Structure 1
């Protein structure tokens, strides 16, 4: 991921096709060690491709992946086979609204 981030930064800076040496130098300049095998594999996979097109195409694929939402979980079953007791709901105490003088906050102090 760090290699791809550095590659992306170089592309955003105006370098359409950064080399492995340029990515490695950027990572070294910011104090991050690079992995030669991972870097070479990434450069090989991106060779001849435009990063902006890859991001656009990947975004379309991500749009079809469901994300978020709650997962329904059933209540645990006790040894007797009866469902466990539901947790008690805490009642919310309604706080009384205090009448606060804003002291002409909006310029209406006459």
Structure 2
């Protein structure tokens, strides 16, 4: 992901088709580790493609993904389970203090 981000930053910096050296320069400017093979693969895959074309293809893929409302269902269920568990722990804690005669 960092390689693609560096590529995008180089594009925003005015390079229509950033080179391997451009991407490396961006990464080294923030002291990031550089994997030459991954950068070479990125440059090869991006050759001859405009950023607009790549981003549009990504939007098309994202359109088939579930929406945020559908994804919130499992998260809401998980939150309810966690809340229920914490309520049970509070009840157990109150029972324990009752057994001790209210010492604590």
User: Under a length normalisation based on structure 2, what TM-score does the superposition of the two structures give?
Assistant: 0.65
Cα distance in structure 1, aligned partners of 2:21 and 2:13: 16
Equivalent position SS for 2:72: coil
Cα distance in structure 1, aligned partners of 2:48 and 2:21: 17
Quote the residue 2:36 is aligned against: 36
**How many positions carry a matched residue from both structures?**
76
- Are 2:11 and 2:18, in contact at CA under 8 Å, matched by a contact in 1? yes
Quote the residue 2:54 is aligned against: 54
Q: CA RMSD in A?
A: 2.1
Quote the residue 1:107 is aligned against: none
Quote the residue 1:69 is aligned against: 72
- Are 2:9 and 2:26, in contact at CA under 8 Å, matched by a contact in 1? no
Quote the residue 2:4 is aligned against: 4
Could you list the structure 1 runs, at least 4 aligned residues long, displaced by more than 2 angstroms after superposition: none
The higher radius of gyration belongs to 1
Structure 1 residue ranges without an equivalent (≥5): 74-86, 91-110
Cα distance in structure 1, aligned partners of 2:52 and 2:24: 21
Query: Which of the pair has the greater relative contact order for Cα pairs under 8 Å at 6+ separation?
Result: 2
Deviation at residue 69 of structure 1 after TM alignment:
2.7
Q: Deviations over 1:44-70 (max 9, x none)?
A: 011111112101121121011114231
User: Under a length normalisation based on structure 1, what TM-score does the superposition of the two structures give?
Assistant: 0.61
